[in-house]
Amino acid sequence: MGAALAFIVLTAAPASAQGPGGAAALVGDEQPVAAAPGAAPQPVAGGITPGAPVSTAAGESAQLAGALALAPAVAPLEVLAAVTAANSIAGFPYKWGGGHGSFQDSGYDCSGAVSHVLHAVGVLDDPLDSSSFKRWGERGKGQWITVYANRGHAYVVIAGLRFDTSGRGGKGPRWRTESRPSAGFVARHPEGL
């Protein structure tokens, strides 16, 4: 539940949670991390508390700050949105079919977690299963966001950091630092990213 408090709505952020130019403050935007309206700030995975300043990562790759990621300072707004959305569900339990009935769920499977992230970026209207991700978006690796999918699994790499439901550190959506072989997966990406 605590990780959900870090989720930031890009379109309806209150003025106190907005950064320069009125854009919603995002994790990694050198602005406070907004808590859900009416909720008391609670530490989330990785020890980051909503309302506490969070710095962006130097360079062009996302970096981990505990269990959460920091977007690169040079990243476009869509990448900041993707990192924020992934952070909002990082540490949720694995739930078969989770994230398919709704982008908001109590747990996520692989494609449900990827769907949640891509919906926050504004490039996905309805959740997809892993097989459908093989045909989604543009072919090949993206500059910032790449979805890897096959018939039974999907994961996303955002600014060089993998967000996946399987790997070291337990089941469920988490940032993973270890590499995952992409043989047998189709690489797809959102247009322009």
pLDDT digits (tens, 9 = 90+) for 144-181: 999 999 999 999 999 999 999 999 888 999 999 998 99
Supply the pLDDT for residue 60.
80
pTM metric for this prediction: 0.72
pLDDT confidence tier of residue 37, bands split at 50, 70 and 90: very low
Mean of the pLDDT values across residues 185-193?
97
Beta-sheet pairing, 161-164 with 154-158:
antiparallel
Strand ranges, E, within 41-167: 63-65, 68-70, 138-139, 145-149, 154-158, 161-164
Tokens, residue 34: 């907004």
Phi and psi dihedrals of 175, rounded to 5?
A: -75, 135
Q: How many CB atoms lie within 10 A of CB 125?
A: 10
Q: Is 150:134 a contact under the CB 8 Å cutoff?
A: yes
Please report which confidence band the pLDDT of residue 58 belongs to, taking 50, 70 and 90 as the band edges: low
Query: How far from the centroid of its chain's Cα atoms is residue 59's Cα?
Result: 19
Task: Give the domain 2-189 fold.
Answer: endopeptidase fold (from Nostoc punctiforme) (3.90.1720)
Q: Which two tokens stand for residue 70?
A: 């920091």
What average pLDDT does range 79-104 have in this prediction? Answer: 96
In DSSP terms, 163 is beta-bridged to: 156, 175
Tell me, what's the pLDDT at 164? Answer: 98
Residues 94-108 pLDDT 10s: 999 999 999 999 999
> Are 13 and 21 contacting, i.e. CB atoms less than 8 angstroms apart?
no
- Residues near 80 by Cβ (< 8 Å), separated by ≥ 6? 26, 27, 28, 29, 71
Q: In Å, how far are 55, 71, 83, 149 from 75, measured between CA atoms?
A: 13, 7, 10, 24
Ordered by start, the domain boundaries in the chain are 2-189
CA atoms within 13 A on the CB side of 38: 0
Q: In terms of pLDDT, which residue wins out, 144 or 37? A: 144
pLDDT in tens, 106-125: 999 999 999 999 999 999 99
pLDDT higher than 60, residue 55: no
